[in-house]
Amino acid sequence: MSKELIRLSNCSMAFDGEVVLNNINLYINDSEFLTLLGPSGCGKTTTLRIIGGFVNPTSGDIFFDGVRINNVPPYKRMVNTVFQKYALFTHLNVYDNIAFGLKLKREGGQKLSKDEIKKRVMGMLDVVSLSGFEKRNVTSLSGGQQQRVAIARALVNQPKVLLLDEPLGALDMRLRKDMQNELKRIQQATGITFIYVTHDQEEALAMSDTIVVMEGGVIQQIGRPKDIYDEPKNAFVADFIGESNIVDGLMHSDGVVEIFGRKFSCFDGGFSPMEAVDVVIRPEDVDITDVSQGQLTGTVVNVVFRGVLYDIVVDFQGFKWLIQTTDISPVGSQIGIKIDPDGIHIMKKSSFSGKFGDYSSYSAEYEDISDVSYDHEDITEGADET
């Protein structure tokens, strides 16, 4: 069982009377890769800064290994930080950049010996795959190599926690993906707790043991990447983690939901009879069929080739859905769709309901979307309902 290392208890933060964090409760385990994920202004960087000691919460407590550390300054916390701007010393080579903190460090009241410093620096160069680069000037390195120097400099002081504030933001897409794999490898090799801040959901899904989704200074959901993707708690999480079609539905009973006047089988339950719900259907979970075999039928209004898949926008009763498929359907064609029960996820209504999940902006001809309405007396069964 993992040991708890950090706990934020009822932490709130306000700047000039504006609340940016609202009663955050969060614990982080030792050796965990945890990502704080959300859009700009959601409170993720403020949370990181509270953990690092750069700001104190307006209210609430921070515990490190069971000890309250609210008033402990950053340099006395066993935490180091890597920022998007690496802040490397351009007049020093790779070795001296990494060794900089060690030359100032004291252990047992004594400065580290040159041999000990060399041992630690060379060991860290090996961890970040930069062996042989120690004499290179940092300005001659690529962005990814500079990133690894910054990480090595932070890790060589042997912190218990590494804070990373959008460190891949300045890299191009291919290098970002390479560094995602590299960061995860480094974290696993060192066993150090990584707390990572990003607005990029692909980064979060690829690297994290745990994802904390934030919006409006509030934690919306905490969970493993697959759990958050497959079982989002509200429309914001469903929309922010991957692409989602989010439509209004009525829960008739456990395992039966009504969408656009038709009943569909699903695996969710625990709702009141005829309770209004949000229904999430991922674009990859929709199968295109002949119109005669479709549970629903619609008109293709836009097609975009994405390399491996086509993004196809389909109009169903004025609501635009996104379907991702390897098969093209031309604009203007009528198609049917089929959705298996495991492709339908039911959520309770929330303050985010009605704000996400429609793809009108993807279509060539934009039109305002009105609420879906239908006559409950005319409900018909889906063609492939089980």
Q: Each residue of 121-130: pLDDT tens digit?
A: 999 899 888 9
Q: What is the CATH code of the structural domain delimited by 4-230?
A: 3.40.50.300
pLDDT at 25: 97
pLDDT at 132: 93
pLDDT at 360: 65
Q: Each residue of 198-212: pLDDT tens digit?
A: 999 999 999 999 999
Read off the pLDDT band of 373 (50, 70, 90): very low
Instruction: Enumerate the β-bridge partners of residue 212.
Output: 36, 222
pTM of the predicted protein model: 0.85
Region 115-138 average pLDDT = 92
pLDDT at 367 over 90: no
Show me where the domains of the chain are located.
4-230, 244-372
CA-CA distance, 209 to 187, in Å (whole number)? 11
Look at residues 79, 73, 68, 29 and name the one whose alpha carbon lies nearest to residue 55: 73
pLDDT at 380 over 60: no
Give residue 311's identity as a one-letter amino acid code: D
Which architecture, in CATH terms, is 244-372? Beta Barrel (2.40)
List Cβ<8 Å contacts ≥24 apart for 23-26.
23/60, 23/218, 24/60, 24/217, 24/218, 24/219, 25/219, 26/212, 26/219, 26/222
pLDDT at 376 over 60: no
Read off the pLDDT band of 374 (50, 70, 90): very low
Three-state secondary structure string covering 172-222? CHHHHHHHHHHHHHHHHHHCCEEEEEECCHHHHHHHCCEEEEEECCEEEEE
Of 73-77, 107-111, 136-140, 279-283, the one with minimum mean pLDDT is: 107-111
Location of structure tokens 């009525």: 250
CA-CA distance, 245 to 364, in Å (whole number)? 18
